[in-house]
Amino acid sequence: MRSVGRMTTFVFIPGAGGDAWYWHRVAAELTARGHEAISVDLPAEDDKAGLPEYADAVDAAVGERAEPVLVALSLGGFTAAAVAARRPVAGIVFVNAMIPLPGETASAWGEVTGSAEARRELALRQGRDPDADVDLRADFFQDVPEDLIAYALSHDRDESERIFGDPCVFEAWPAVPIRVLTGRDDRMFPAVFQQRVARERLGVEAELLPGGHLVPLSHPVEVADLVERSGTASTAPDCATD
């Protein structure tokens, strides 16, 4: 068990499907180190729920706790930005996450950032079919233990379409430490792509760690180590918000 200092409240925001379970291994690791870990279920299957309702769910889970650190996976990056616009936070950690610009939608994000072309280029370099359809096992779960894959696929949730069309309403990133953690083997958002987006949009260098897109399941200790240090990080965004 390792700890780097005082107790911190970490709020874990899932990606598509909205299932807090994807953070359970990292949350358990940080709880064992004396921190408070809040994993939030999002109303992903509710067709009427969009980004404001996702932010409502995080607000409700956090309650009166002061200045938590938000930790967002994949699509959860949009929710983290929306929450940080509403309430004070001590920091934000993006984990293989979509980093929005003010007013951007998740559906536009891929085209604007070039994520599809980045995936295609990575597949070509690795000798995989660049035109193959996305495969959950190959592209999301390639390094996740088999028992966790079985559970995840048997409890898979649909994601409503509204979340992809809601603009992410915020004016600028808060002046708090913001970190970007990137799986070296991520096939959905390749590491080089994530590093570029982090520089362009936040002015920060993405930190590499082992694992694919679902590093909270495949490498929870490594993720916890980096997340735990977020409270002491001094890097704030240079604010590439336009």
Show the domains of the chain with their CATH numbers.
Answer: 9-232 (3.40.50.1820)
Query: In the predicted model, is pLDDT for residue 240 greater than 60?
Result: no
Q: Alpha-carbon distance 107 to 160, whole Å?
A: 12
Q: Quick one: pLDDT band at residue 230, thresholds 50, 70, 90?
A: confident
Identify the DSSP state of 106.
H
Q: Alpha-carbon distance 204 to 232, whole Å?
A: 16
| Beta-strand relationship, 69-73 and 178-183 | unpaired
Phi and psi angles of residue 179, each rounded to the nearest 5 degrees, phi first: -125, 150
Average model confidence (pLDDT) across the chain? 92
In Å, how far from its chain's centre is CA 237? 17
Q: Alpha-carbon distance 61 to 98, whole Å?
A: 22
Phi and psi angles of residue 71, each rounded to the nearest 5 degrees, phi first: -125, 115
From residue 153, give the alpha-carbon distance in Å to each of 72, 122, 178, 229: 21, 25, 31, 32
Q: Alpha-carbon distance 242 to 221, whole Å?
A: 35
pLDDT at 5: 56
Higher pLDDT, 91 or 235: 91
Query: In the predicted model, is pLDDT for residue 231 greater than 80?
Result: no
* Predicted TM-score (pTM) of this structure: 0.92
Residue 208 structure tokens = 């590499």
Q: Looking at the DSSP assignment, which residues form a beta bridge with residue 71?
A: 12, 93
Q: Alpha-carbon distance 18 to 159, whole Å?
A: 8
pLDDT at 235: 46
Q: To the nearest 5 percent, what fractions of the chain are helix, strand and coil?
A: 40, 10, 45
Percent of the chain whose pLDDT exceeds 70:
93
* Cβ atoms 195, 122 nearer than 8 A: no
Distant-in-sequence, close-in-space partners of 136: CB < 8 Å, separation ≥ 6: 153
Q: Alpha-carbon distance 197 to 200, whole Å?
A: 5
